Structure 1
């Protein structure tokens, strides 16, 4: 019994000894685990701080590169060498947007693109516009065939003569367009640019069946060229043309009668105010009828030279053109001169003009309204004399409303005995428009126009049109 009591009394003593030995071990293990967790947390915090610092440095580098790139782009010349700012709907191209009045105070103009798209050392850009044209037309002496250019915009030689008048309404969006550009600066400091632009008008490629259900129109190449410093190679506006003199119209070009208008393949060199080019040669001539015959017999390129000056007052340019005109059996020479520019008449008014003339000017005026040459009574090829011009007055009513009043005309010194009585001799047109921009890059426009055409035999015809548009530039 005594031994049992002694054994019982030794149990608490053993428990106390075990507790004394076990508790410090547990406490030590817990302390070691907490230390490891603290160390891991500190390590994670350090890694997170390092990643944050690296991200901030990368953002600073991107911001610096962007600022440097924007400064380089701002310091470079425009994509179209030697050209003044574009101003007419049909003239837009070459990576630029038509000039518009400044937005109201407190509402800065939003850029087309905040930054360029960067891939390596190349910078890509894009733009264009969506344009709906709605026209109501009346002719006095004949009908303009459906699906032809004269039904979609003002085409001087399409004004009918010698028939019964007609009227019709047309809607289309074929002049909507898109462009893509790429440029880079090499390590040696060379500037290289590329540009391509399309619209959906192919010179009257629509047809009645197409308008019946789909109104699908294939893309049409307008511009495709590359620039290397002062050199331009590819298809773009002829160097003989002054883009900055063309006024803003609701119609595709509007003042077609007096406008130098051609896009073609060329090689151009620009230095300061001077530019020179070798351009695609093509001779269109008349052989006893009003029809224009195309000749592919040319052996020498068309040669142009242009000089331009500009300032706060506006700009002024003089351009010359020299050509070889050739058929399969004969050849002659063509020459032309063009004077163009703009002049500011105050804070809100601008005068724009072009006057051109010479034997062989032909296809460079008014969508080829006149032939380059004709066969005379002896069958010899003679350069056709042509004189054309326009003047336009633009007024900005306020920051979002402006209007243009324009007159254009052309005279072809032809002989009905050699070119036929229905060959165009004289055209002229007036137009007045009002264009409202509720916010930048959206234009709502309306334009009234009147045109008259006279042929070599004396017949005349008139055209009146109300033309409205909705246009969004992006």
Structure 2
């Protein structure tokens, strides 16, 4: 009887254990099923998203390529100064979607240039300086070697939702009192507001300047009769349509007392010096139109207006005078054998827009002069004419012959009046120059040039008359010439 009762209790306990275990397993199964359903929903969500394209083999979001073709269409060089587009390198940044054209490209290029210079008559500096040619110093030959024209350039191009944006930073080593320091040539930014309209700000070529005029030269300065101060801070608006380009700009005025063209004539015997009460109250206004004709011909016309101003609060009198200049230029392709380049510019108060319109002080430093303040406080402008003609003969694909003639002529009466009270220093009245050279570029990485330069300078020299009481000033008419031979080697990187 006891065994039967024990067996019954054991069976009941087992049944209870089995029932409890079954209930727990059901709960775990339900939880696992919920987890699987959540995981499946997440997989479905991921599969519904668009797939990220796989990078093609060998492709990269950032690429480095040889050459600067990406920014080659943006002309930043004057005649004979271009860097081969297969030199330098390009950094391209590509957007992360189907690898379309890069949205941002940066090009780096430049060259190392070494010069060997031999002056037969007097030392004329690292770049041929016309305004210090004279016949008063002892004539002597002089040799110099330098590498100050070596150049470094960074350009960029970015495609944005509001139009393409471009930048340029370029420098060389002509900075400092005697050169050798790095200086900024260009610091410029452009924005294509529309496909035909471009807005630019920074330091760039003067808008009055003709980039199409000139010949390749070994000398850095090149012929007279062309632009003098070629780069300026400015704001520019350019319209371009096919072969035509029209640009207007407001530019940094050059009449201030630091580096401008306005001088003060001494009330007693002395030297011309920058007018201490010069005041820049208006920017220079420049306008240019350029047209490319069929057959490789080009024509250009440009003009400028400038204001010379003195402020009585800075001393002296209040006065203003208008300066202006116009220019016409053309390149004529002579059957792909030679190119004829020519230009004429004329203006009153033209100053440092014209190469050769300069006054040289007693220390030998030359600066452009467009106007002066006479002893009565009146601003008088100085008129000037510049003419240039040059030929480039393409002998072979690697060799060219270049010859250029330049002429700067200042108004004799204006120059004489400006020097009437000056006892030292000199002012140019007429300069003529001739450049002849051979350029040879056997490979894209190197160019060699051999050049001969002749120049003649006519000028008025100030003197102090010690025979009078009180002492007075007078000037004499002088003529001097000079010859230079130069070799240059460019190594493009």
Q: What TM-score results when the alignment is normalised by the length of structure 2?
A: 0.70
Residues 1:203 and 1:306: Cα distance change in structure 2 (over 3 Å): farther
Q: Per-residue deviation at 1:254?
A: 1.5
| Structure 2 counterparts to residues 445-456 of structure 1, below 5 A | 445-456=449-460
Residues 1:293 and 1:462: Cα distance change in structure 2 (over 3 Å): same
| Structure 2 counterparts to residues 153-172 of structure 1, below 5 A | 153-172=127-146
| Contact 1:193 1:226 survives alignment (8 Å) | yes
Question: Corresponding residue for 1:279?
Answer: 251
Q: Which runs of 5+ in 1 are unaligned?
A: 1-53, 99-109, 145-149, 207-216
Residues 1:314 and 1:116: Cα distance change in structure 2 (over 3 Å): farther
Provide the rounded CA distance (Å) in 1 between the counterparts of 2:128 and 2:229: 14
Q: Per the alignment, in what secondary structure is the counterpart of residue 157 of structure 1?
A: helix
Corresponding position: 1:227 with 2:190: yes
- 2:336 pairs, out of 336, 347, 365, with 347
| Contact 1:88 1:253 survives alignment (8 Å) | no
| Structure 2 counterparts to residues 195-344 of structure 1, below 5 A | 195-202=168-175, 204-206=177-179, 217-229=180-192, 230-272=198-240, 273-283=245-255, 284-288=261-265, 291-293=272-274, 297-311=279-293, 312-328=295-311, 329=317, 330-344=319-333
Residues 1:319 and 1:62: Cα distance change in structure 2 (over 3 Å): same
Question: Corresponding residue for 1:88?
Answer: 80
Provide the rounded CA distance (Å) in 2 between the counterparts of 1:62 and 1:287: 65
Q: Per-residue deviation at 1:237?
A: 0.6
CA RMSD after TM alignment: 2.9
Q: Per the alignment, in what secondary structure is the counterpart of residue 242 of structure 1?
A: coil
Residues 1:341 and 1:204: Cα distance change in structure 2 (over 3 Å): farther
Q: Per-residue deviation at 1:378?
A: 3.6
Question: Corresponding residue for 2:393?
Answer: 395
| Greater Cα shift, 441-450 or 251-260 | 251-260
- Report the count of equivalent residues: 377
Q: Per-residue deviation at 1:178?
A: 0.1
Q: Per the alignment, in what secondary structure is the counterpart of residue 212 of structure 2?
A: helix
Structure with the higher fraction of residues in helix conformation: 1
Question: Corresponding residue for 2:87?
Answer: 112
Question: Corresponding residue for 2:402?
Answer: 404
Question: Corresponding residue for 2:74?
Answer: 78
Q: Per-residue deviation at 1:204?
A: 4.3
| Contact 2:62 2:91 survives alignment (8 Å) | no
Q: Per the alignment, in what secondary structure is the counterpart of residue 458 of structure 1?
A: strand
Q: Which runs of 5+ in 2 are unaligned?
A: 1-50, 96-102, 193-197, 256-260, 312-316, 359-367, 461-475
Provide the rounded CA distance (Å) in 1 between the counterparts of 2:56 and 2:90: 15
Q: What TM-score results when the alignment is normalised by the length of structure 1?
A: 0.73
Corresponding position: 1:58 with 2:55: yes
| Contact 2:356 2:428 survives alignment (8 Å) | no
Q: Per the alignment, in what secondary structure is the counterpart of residue 200 of structure 1?
A: strand
Q: Per-residue deviation at 1:115?
A: 4.4
Structure with the higher fraction of residues in strand conformation: 2
Residues 1:437 and 1:327: Cα distance change in structure 2 (over 3 Å): same
Residues 1:194 and 1:406: Cα distance change in structure 2 (over 3 Å): same
Provide the rounded CA distance (Å) in 2 between the counterparts of 1:442 and 1:268: 35
Cα deviation code 1:281-331 (max 9, x no counterpart): 021223336645166511110001101101223211000100101233322
Q: Per the alignment, in what secondary structure is the counterpart of residue 120 of structure 2?
A: strand
Provide the rounded CA distance (Å) in 1 between the counterparts of 2:357 and 2:57: 55
The 4+ residue runs of structure 1 with deviation greater than 6 A are: 63-66
Question: Corresponding residue for 1:418?
Answer: 418
Provide the rounded CA distance (Å) in 2 between the counterparts of 1:417 and 1:382: 9
